[in-house]
Amino acid sequence: MREIVFDTETTGLSPGGDRIVEIGCVELENRVETGRTYHCYFNPERDMPSEAEAVHGLSSAFLSDKPLFADKALELIEFLGDAKLVAHNASFDFGFLNFELEKAGHECVCMTRMIDTLPMARTKHPGAKHSLDALCTRYGVDRSARVKHGALLDAELLTQVYIELTGGRQIGLGIEVSDTSTVAVAAGIEDAPAPRKVRPARPHAPSAEELAAHRAFIEKMEDPLWSKVA
């Protein structure tokens, strides 16, 4: 099962008047990180309110030479594919994503693809704090690189939280550990981090030599139990 955990940074809270300025996506296969990510900054074609800049650190000057969302829309659509899309307070991110897609002349993402970790956290931990920071603390997810909000950084943190919310794994024994330097860059206003290499699956099928050795071993066994089964 393929899923994409994603996060957006915006100029404000209202799709239309406000715009997406950054998106970060992390690919999962059967709740395991594959190493594939998508990250991009966008020129919002408007000013950056000081309140929003204080949250994510992305200034109008920094974003002025970045591509428009419409210029990267097909690239993003290809990465998302038909996967389920996981976000924290997902209606916010879906609202902005679908506004930008529609504005760029593309179909909106169907809301049936949405997986929202916020109600999941509220159900599992009633009465507790449910912000991403609070959930990272609860599950022992290292968020020391989160100086400011960053779409790829937050998507990577949410990936670990989502895995814990849906069954979990021991922190520190995951398939892949994020490169701290990459995460730190994603949190700031530097250029997008280089994509990590996708590791191919290890072969698990026995070789012809191993099969032959196994048959030879079995043939040496005297009166094995399975020979008595009709």
| Catalytic (active site) residue 149 | yes
- Give the active site residue among 39, 56, 130, 149: 149
Note the pTM of the prediction, 2 decimals: 0.71
CATH at residue 142? 3.30.420.10
CB-based contacts of 131-137 (< 8 A; 24+ apart in sequence): 132/88, 132/157, 132/158, 132/161, 135/161, 135/164, 135/165, 136/160, 136/161
What single DSSP character describes residue 31? T
**CA–CA separation, 38 vs 131, rounded Å?**
23
User: Residue 192: is its pLDDT beyond 50?
Assistant: no
Domain assignment present for residue 6? The answer is yes
Domain assignment present for residue 213? The answer is no
**CA–CA separation, 125 vs 193, rounded Å?**
34
User: Residue 181: is its pLDDT beyond 50?
Assistant: no
Domain assignment present for residue 121? The answer is yes
Domain assignment present for residue 135? The answer is yes
In this structure, of 1-15, 51-65, 103-117, 201-215, the range with the lowest mean pLDDT score is 201-215
Counting Cα atoms < 13 Å in the Cβ hemisphere of 70 gives 6
* Sign, CA torsion 177/179/183/184: positive
pLDDT tens figures, 48-98: 999 999 999 999 999 999 999 999 999 999 999 999 999 999 999 999 999
Domain assignment present for residue 119? The answer is yes
**Between 166 and 223, whose confidence is greater?**
166
Q: Structurally, how many domains does the chain consist of?
A: 1
Domain assignment present for residue 27? The answer is yes
Domain assignment present for residue 117? The answer is yes
